[in-house]
Structures are given as C-alpha cells and as structure tokens.
Amino acid sequence: MCGIAGWVAFDSDLTRRSEVANAMTTTMACRGPDDSGTWIRPHVALGHRRLAIIDLPGGRQPMAVQTPQGAVAMVYSGEAYNFAELRQELLAKGHRFQTAGDTEVVLHGYLEWGEAVAEHLNGMFAFAIWDERGEKLVMIRDRLGVKPFYYYPTRDGVLFGSEPKAILANPLARKVVDIDGLRELVGFTMVPKWSLWKDMYEVEPGTIVTVDRSGIRQRTYWALEPAAHTDDLDTTIDRVRSLMTDIVHRQLVADVPRCVLLSGGLDSSAVTGIAAARLAAEGERLRTFSVDFVGRESTFAADENWDSPDTPFIRDVTERVSSAHQFITLDPRDLTDPDLRRAVITARDMPVGFGETDSSLYLMFKAIREQSTVALSGESADEVFGGYRWMHDPVAVNAPTFPWLAYRSPMSGDRSACLAPHLRRRLDLDVYVDDQYATAVAAVDHQDGADAPERLMRVNQNLHLTRFVRMLLDRKDRISMAVGLEVRVPFCDHRLVEYLYNVPWSMKTFDGREKSLLRAATAHVLPESVRGRRKSPYPSTQDPGYGLALQQQAKEVLADHDHPVHALLDQDWLTNIVQQDVSKPSDARRGIDRVLDLYHWLDLYKPSLEL
C-alpha cells in the first residue's frame, strides 16, 4: 500500500522541475511512511511513497525495466492478491525477477500483456506506467474502486495522484471549486468521475486511462454484466462459502502484523471467523479491534437506526474464535477537538460533514496502527449481499430516486440546509438528483425476460455497487491511509461481486431476512447471537455533551463575522441552529458538522470559489 503522484508534460523538460515532483510526492507521506522515491525523465516525473507490506527489503519504487525500445517505469499502490500465481506464469514465459513482492510482478505483467494486465489481477490497485516505447502514460484502477486515483489534464499532458492533494501541490492545478463541485458534494448521488475540484477527475473503477501526445483516452476493462444464475440454493451457498474462504485466506498474506476490524455485525464477524480459523491452523492467534464510546453500552438507547450496542456481540465472537481483542474506547469529548476535525478534512481533501463518524474512525485507525499495519474489514458486504435496511423498505425501493436518499437515515437529511438561499437556488438539487438518477438507471443492463420486481432490484443493487460503495471505499481508504494503515476489503473481490450480482433477489433473501446467503455460508464460524442480529450501522456517540460542544463551536463561527464561510451560509439558519437542542443525533447536529467542516476546509485549502 502506498501513495503515488506524477506529471506528464510533452512540451516541457521536467528534469528541471524536480522540486515540484518532490513536493507532489511529499504530500503522500502519510500513505507511505517507510520510503520515498522519484523517477524523472524529460517528459515524465513519477513519485512514490511506500508503506512496506510484502517483501520489506525489496519492492522500492518507482520501479523500472529497460527494454531495447526504451524504459518502462511504474508507480503502484495496492495489493495483487494473486501475484504468486502470476509470478509462476510469468516465470514460465521467461521473465526473471529481482524481488519477492507483487510490484515487480505487475510491472512484468504489463511487459507481457500490455494494458490487459488489469484483467489478470485480483486485488485492489491504482498504478501508473510510463511506457517510453510509445511515449505514453497508462493509468489503471481496480474494478470496484478500492484504491483512489485522480488526474488533472493540462495543456501538454496530465497530473495524477492517489489523492487530490498530490495534484494540488503542482502550480498548474488551480484550487477552484465551482457550482458543479458543490452540487455533488451536497447532492450525494456519487456521480462517476467526480472530484470536488474543478477540472480534476477520478480514474473510474474498472477503467484504463491512456495519455499520449494525441490526448487522453479512457476504456472500460470491467463492468457489471447480467447473466443467468443456474445454481440452486445449496450450490449457491457452497459457492459463496468457498469464495469467502479463498478470498480471506488470500488477503491475510502480509509480512507485517495483521488484524480484523470487528464490529459484532454479520459482515466483520464472518471475516473474523474465517481469518481466525486460518491463522489458528498456522499456530497464530488473530488480533481483532473495535471502536466504542465511554459509557455507550450502559447508557445505550435504541432508536430508528440502532437496535442494540455492539459490545455484547463482539464479546460473543471473540470468545468463539479466541481472538486477542482490544476495544478502542473513545471519549466523546476528544471527538470535538478542532485539530482532529482538520486532520480528517485533510485526509479527505473536502468538507464531507460526517462528524464523529469520520473522526472516531480516524482515532480508531490511529490506535490500531500502533500495533498493526494491515487490517481486514467487513466493508461493502451490504452492497454485495443486500444488507442495507432501505434495500428492504418498500417505500425506499420503489421511490423514483436513489434509495439511500429515500430512506430516513443520517444520510438522507437536507445536506444543503445550511447554505445561503442564493446558493440553494443555483444548486437546484431536486432537478440535479432526478437527472442523475435517470442517467444511472438508464445505464443498467438487464437479463432478457427478467420480470419487473427483479429488474427493480437489479437497478437497486447496481446503484449501490457503481455509486454508493465508492463513497464508502474512498472514506475508508483516505482515513486509514492518513495514519499509514492498510485496510483490505474481502467483500470487494470481483469474483464474489460478479457471482452475487446475478443471484436472484429472492435467493439473496431466501429466509426472509437481509444477507441470507452470507449468513448461511458463514454460519459455521458465527455465534448464534450474530447469526440472528439485524443490520446495525457504524456506531455513533449518544453523549449529549458531544452535540453541545459542537453547538458552542458553531456559535464561535457565527461570531467570526469576517470569515469567508459566511458567504456560503444561511445566516438565519445558523442563528437558529445554535439555539436548538442538539444533545441527540439529529439533522440539526449534522448541519452543524457541515458548517464546521466548511469553516475549517476554507482555512486549510483556501480555494477559489466560482459559485
């Protein structure tokens, strides 16, 4: 796992701009604390920061191979979980290796198969290859978008990086946010290729972007495709069990300490059970971690999103698998620290406004990083297996909009409520969301003969796998890598995603519950309490002092009359919100989080606003 950055300029001599290339690379230091390197030639500069996971002595980057027609150099972020098999295949074809890790395998895979190397990889990755033989840059991103990857076209080439901050370190990149960037930030439709920053784009998951003197081109090498599911229920359960076992085993490979993030829910508990059994067979005890808040279990009150605290279920799992478990218990007062908020905003490069959901994740990852370098997560199981509550709510499922916006949840409130009236009019969010929804639905392919209910759920699942999950994966990656922790996501293995995508919805819910197939396939590693537990979101503090502390900070924003944030805010709304009861989670409290994020983001990035 690493951070990458680069610059291609066909009309410039970049050997004279090494200081800029170094500055871009330095922004990725959090992603790669173990090593740094650059590779600079007249028309290309590649930068790399390394977090050493496999082959600790080797694997330094940028990595280059000299061919008779010119050099081929690569900067690579991620993990190829099938690199051992690919290595053997390439050895049989005559390739020779100097290192023992996956980076050199991917580079030689490109030498053998060209851009089609992407189709040979199983893993999470974002990498750029400068091919001197054709004077071109090739950027490739994994199928689901687990690893982030951005680019910024220039007059004579392109800038790229794992995160926007790498690109923004180059003086050619303008720190501009326009109305389109703001519209998606608050619209929450997860439009493909979007970046908050004007003229900056994501390399879309499952795509290859090529840059040469003739321009920039993009092609898709992987996409969700409908197909007939011919396996019966028992065969399907067996197939899911086999895939899950193979996936977790592959993702446990590392030369550094590993662990599993355990929430006590079905997803993370399934990963924990499989991983614990694997390590136990090798004479090793699995380490698990979870997040909690001071007093949450004893004072827990159920509400529309949380039925029960996590800790009893976590204890049941750890007792069953005998893991070495640690609760990362957070004091809600620590979550209100403005410096923590600024660290999270810097990690994500934008004011998302997720409040303690992001800040607690940051503190948990930071604590885990002191003891482990790699963590496996249950992220994305809900998208793959159909676990979200709104996927089973008839109103949300049948609503003519994105289901996560139709269902009453912390994400479905009016995210633009805090903005000035003139901005709200310019955003015209209702029309924007409707247009995005129509575009997304039109892009979904269906199997011939599918009935209306199956087509409806096909759309529902597609929207989650091509839009919603990308937001969660970006959040996970950016916050974990901000503290140098690699988080792996077994449920994003493309083999599992492809298989489950074509399982009929009736089979996914064969027992009348969410994630029926996952529950059945992993029942052998789960305690009874977890097998019967309903989906529960990421935990949130219920301490009333948290909301009151945020409210006090909002009052300070209100009093800072000369701050540029006031040009964006509805002053009447802000005056009213600092007087409301925000002791409990509410739309008002989430609105304050958005205001505070905007306030600190403007200070940190000083963007030019073209609104």
Question: Quick check: 257 and 372 in contact, CB under 8 A?
Answer: yes
- Both tokens assigned to 118: 């992407």
From residue 32, give the alpha-carbon distance in Å to each of 25, 98, 231, 308. 10, 22, 44, 38
User: How is 122-133 classified by DSSP, letter by letter?
Assistant: -EEEEEEEEETT
Q: CA-CA distance, 209 to 223, in Å (whole number)?
A: 15
Q: CA-CA distance, 42 to 39, in Å (whole number)?
A: 10
Question: Quick check: 278 and 252 in contact, CB under 8 A?
Answer: yes
Residue 530, C-beta contacts closer than 8 angstroms, at least 6 positions apart? 264, 265, 266, 269, 313, 316, 317
- Both tokens assigned to 137: 């840059």
Query: Which of helix, strand or coil describes residue 228?
Result: coil
Q: Give residue for tokens 């030639």.
A: 41
Interior/surface letters 136-170, b for 16+ CB within 10 angstroms, e for the rest: bbbbbbbbbbbbbbbbbebeebbbbbbbbbbbbbb
Residue 390, C-beta contacts closer than 8 angstroms, at least 6 positions apart? 396, 397, 403, 404, 406, 407, 409
Residue 15, C-beta contacts closer than 8 angstroms, at least 6 positions apart? 40, 41, 42
- Both tokens assigned to 510: 């064969």
Distance of alpha carbon 575 from its chain centroid, rounded?
35
Annotated catalytic residue, options 2, 30, 259, 492: 2
Distance of alpha carbon 364 from its chain centroid, rounded?
16
Residue 337, C-beta contacts closer than 8 angstroms, at least 6 positions apart? none
Q: CA-CA distance, 256 to 539, in Å (whole number)?
A: 28
Helix-helix angle 338-348:356-369, to 10 degrees? 90
Longest dimension (CA), the chain: 72
Question: Quick check: 78 and 29 in contact, CB under 8 A?
Answer: no
- Both tokens assigned to 546: 């948290």
Helices (H), 50-178: 83-92, 102-113, 117-120, 164-168
User: How is 362-405 classified by DSSP, letter by letter?
Assistant: HHHHHHHHTT-SEEE--TTHHHHHT--GGGG-HHHHHSSS-HHH
Q: Is 30 a catalytic residue?
A: no
- Both tokens assigned to 170: 């180059």
Active site residues: 2
